[in-house]
Amino acid sequence: MEVLSFVCAALLCTVLVHGKPTLRKERVINKDPELSRKAYEDNSSFQYDHDAFLGKEEAKTFDQLSPEESKDKLGKIVDRIDSNVDGYITTAELKSWIKRVQKRYVYENVAKVWTDYDLNKDNKISWEEYKQATYGYYLANPEEFDESTDQFSFKKMLPRDERRFKTADLNGDLAADREEFTSFLHPEEFDHMRDTVVLETLEDIDKNGDGHVDEDEYITDMFAHEEGGPEPDWVKTEREQFSDFRDLNKDGKMDMEEIRHWIMPQDYDHAQAEARHLVYESDQDKDEMLTKEEILENWNMFVGSQATNYGEDLTKNHDEL
């Protein structure tokens, strides 16, 4: 079974930028881990917006429907977003919707894998169950991994998973209920797991094991330098970013608190940024609100040449959100 211990790069998001995306941007904490793999794109592609607005899985289904069906489904979604039923969609309503979509993704993701790990069907997942389901073959057949690069990965990830599991296990019984297991798989969603996210990020990047991230490690994390090759301009900009904004105490390296400041910026809210972006791009009369007509007029940004069964799912199951 695939190891489901998410590395920090898969837990983090891109910020609203133009140009080449980098792992620096993708390490900024995001409520939806899968959005970490995308950057805001130019006007010819709105995949990031689709995933943020609909959720990754629901956005995939949009490809199956015609533009007419897509607009019809989008209209139903807009009715759900308009929480006070006044005919206008505000930035606050869009932000609330995006957060609900993100939350739904997290809990649906846990539900999908729950039975794979709850081996004794007691509605809890013990550390032993998780370890057996994830690492059982490796533990039973270590000799098969002696010459494999996977040996290093398994040896590294097993204790890391155990440390994360124990942090998520708030009552200390080494058996995770659904909320605890959710915090194990999606630590970015839970305040008590934030230290773990920071530590794992440090461990991912700190190649010399000195407990800090220096400039070269920071750059290496996002750019594979070719022998003797020139650095692109965006890498030079990243070096300036490290010096000016990452290394806050100017000692030439990032410690845990500086890494926390980097990947968990207190002044950046992904859902708020995306909501403002959608309003700005679709608000034809510039009243800072959207009507259904304005959204449908700019339907490509919200759902693209795709559409979804999500509207039907929403009509049936909106109380689950």
Mean pLDDT of the chain: 79
Would you state the pLDDT for residue 9?
32
Question: Are 184 and 168 contacting, i.e. CB atoms less than 8 angstroms apart?
Answer: yes
**Given a cut of 50, is residue 75 above it in pLDDT?**
yes
Q: What is the pLDDT of residues 184-201, one digit of tens each?
A: 999 988 999 999 999 999
Task: Say whether pLDDT at 112 is over 80.
Answer: yes
Q: Tens digit of pLDDT for each residue in 11-61?
A: 333 222 222 223 333 455 543 433 333 433 334 456 767 777 777 666 667
* 214, β-bridge pairs: 253
Report the predicted TM-score, pTM, of the whole model to 2 decimal places: 0.71
Percent of the chain having pLDDT more than 70? 74
Rounded Cα distance, 22 and 276, in Å: 23
d(CA 182, CA 55): 17
Higher pLDDT, 239 or 313: 239
pLDDT band (50, 70, 90) for residue 84? very high
pLDDT value for 313: 40
Distance (Å) of CA 230 to CA 21, 192, 242: 18, 42, 19
Over residues 288-314, mean pLDDT: 70
What's the CA gap between 302 and 310, in Å, rounded?
Answer: 13
- pLDDT given at position 53: 78
Residues contacting 39, CB < 8 A, separation 6+: 14, 17, 21, 25, 26, 48
Q: What pLDDT is stored for residue 43 in this prediction?
A: 40
Pull the structure tokens for residue 15. Answer: 């910020």
H or E element in which residue 320 lies:
none
The whole-number pLDDT of residue 22 equals: 31
pLDDT for residue 119 is more than 70: yes
Which residues, 6+ apart, have CB-to-CB distance to 310 below 8 Å?
A: 54, 55, 58, 61, 73, 77
Residue 269: phi and psi, rounded to 5, are -120, 110
The tally of CA atoms less than 13 A away on the side-chain side of residue 58 is 26
Question: How many whole angstroms separate alpha carbon 183 and alpha carbon 84?
Answer: 32
